[in-house]
Structure 1
């Protein structure tokens, strides 16, 4: 008998499987062996079907999976392997070996393709960071984010603080602007009053100008002393130095002044400057310049919430004379200045000594503690923002 088959016979063997022997016959149809064989293939088929489904589900839900095509090839390969095991169960009873062969061929082709792609992707897969490296990178990123958030919070807090400071400074500037207008009006009123009252007591223009300009200069010196400090207050020492420093230089030990440190407000600085100017002008005419034995002592102190300024002048012969008719200078010392400071003043001659005593409530003289820092900040903002010269 010839074993060679014609073309038609080969095709018939491919399509028809009835001439083949079922695989169960190889197992002698032993029930336990058939069950073991079929059960194992069934478990493998179910597992090999579930794994591709899981991989495809991951790909659908995660669009950022690296090398997704490799995952698809693995899923196809595993699914085809599972199908061959399922067909292995069928061949126990039905010898469909030609169909199993075609499925195995497809499985082999997909397996080869998967292997080729896998080897080509080895450099890329090696370059992928490890979980440990990813965790370390994530930790660094979390730390950097926390640091940036802390920096941002600090910047926001600083911005809020600066905004608050600017609002406070703007409020202070608005108040200072209104106060400057108010002070300017008051100062003009004082200058106008000084001009009128000085004119009433003088006969000649030269005499009027000398007295009037001296009084105006005393006001200007007090105002300049405050402006130079960029504050709304000034030390009383500075006011006294501004008005009497030149007398101390000229007369030396015959002219002295002293007192505790005291920060006073602009109104008090102007009024005290006027009083000191009047007293200094008088002593220059009738005291220190008239006799080498004349002395002047100026002192101030604070007792029981009361401010007290004392001008003591002695050693000049003219001091023993009876006071002449009260002029505007005397009125300024004993009426105007104390009235402006809500206090009292007296100018007397006692045992050859001229004593001028000015008392006022401490609250009317000292500078308010509120807004000191804001005043300085406001002045700084004006200087930096608008280029104003504070001198």
Structure 2
């Protein structure tokens, strides 16, 4: 039953929005009502002039709308007055005719009014349903966005925790090794402080890119900036490459150690010394970094390996899943690092 009512109101909407169909229904309903009234005139008792006209008016008003319904009601009233209210075949007026016409006007007027009220109520329900649907869709959208934000927040929290653990572990290793390998507390504290500052400068470079990656050239220039006097002693060259956070911090530490040693013992100790820093990516995901000193005093391999050497030759290469080697020659120190440019999936998995 509910489905039938929905179909009737849907049909009414289609008819009302098509003037040709609406007026066609009005004319057809009037014609059928007149024909049916003539057809059954001989079997109907006296006093029922409007019997077939009421359904025509109601049907027209419901399907075709207010104006076609009113016109159909007017035409039906005139036809009933002329043909089926005595004296037949005339538009005479007397008390009985006025009463019959008034009765007809009241009935069809109430019918049309009720039909229009019903249509307005149904239209209002449709609009309310549409608004409710929009609200439900908007609520679902907001809930979806909230879930996305919560999921993104959880990811960011895990990523932040992962980065903090890595950074703290690196700081802990720097401090621990600096204190362990230097009997003088002041010297150890100075070394640890310098190394932590190098990490901080690398983190500044990462912060500029929301910790997603750091440009190698930016990282190199930031790391050597405390040792660069602006006279062109650093020759830096390499393609535009990006390193993720842990690799960036490791490379910054390695450059800091190399620059510190060059200042104390190598090319930066003399005015003629030059440091050439090169890098490239040979196969798309490979990474090769070179630190080449020239013009400084000759260097010899140290008898004792300190934390700086272990850092540049073991710790940092592990971040790059690769290896490193240091050559001590009469022309100066040469350091080469080879590994991967980007981490694999296991490196990216959160702790």
Change (3 A) 1:214 1:303: same
Change (3 A) 1:110 1:254: same
Match of 2:270 among 288, 291, 298: 291
Confirm whether residue 206 of structure 1 aligns to residue 186 of structure 2: yes
Q: Which residue of 1 aligns with 2:12?
A: none
Shift of 1:351: 4.2
Confirm whether residue 280 of structure 1 aligns to residue 259 of structure 2: yes
Match of 1:339 among 318, 327, 339: 318
Change (3 A) 1:316 1:231: closer
Shift of 1:76: 5.4
Shift of 1:269: 0.5
Shift of 1:45: 6.5
Match of 1:349 among 328, 340, 348: 328
Q: Which residue of 2 aligns with 1:55?
A: 53
Change (3 A) 1:54 1:336: same
Confirm whether residue 265 of structure 1 aligns to residue 235 of structure 2: no
The separation in 1 between residues aligned to 2:100 and 2:87, in whole angstroms, is 17
Shift of 1:182: 2.1
Q: Which residue of 2 aligns with 1:77?
A: 81
- 8 Å contact 2:82–2:91 — kept in the other structure? no
Which structure has the larger Rg over C-alpha atoms? 1
Length, aligned pairs only: 276
Shift of 1:176: 2.5
Aligned partner of residue 338 in structure 1, secondary structure: helix
- 8 Å contact 2:320–2:341 — kept in the other structure? no
Q: Which residue of 2 aligns with 1:309?
A: 289
Q: Which residue of 2 aligns with 1:377?
A: none
- 8 Å contact 1:219–1:273 — kept in the other structure? yes
Q: Which residue of 2 aligns with 1:31?
A: none
- 8 Å contact 1:278–1:329 — kept in the other structure? yes
Q: CA RMSD in A?
A: 4.4
**Long gaps (5+) in structure 2:** 1-37, 103-125
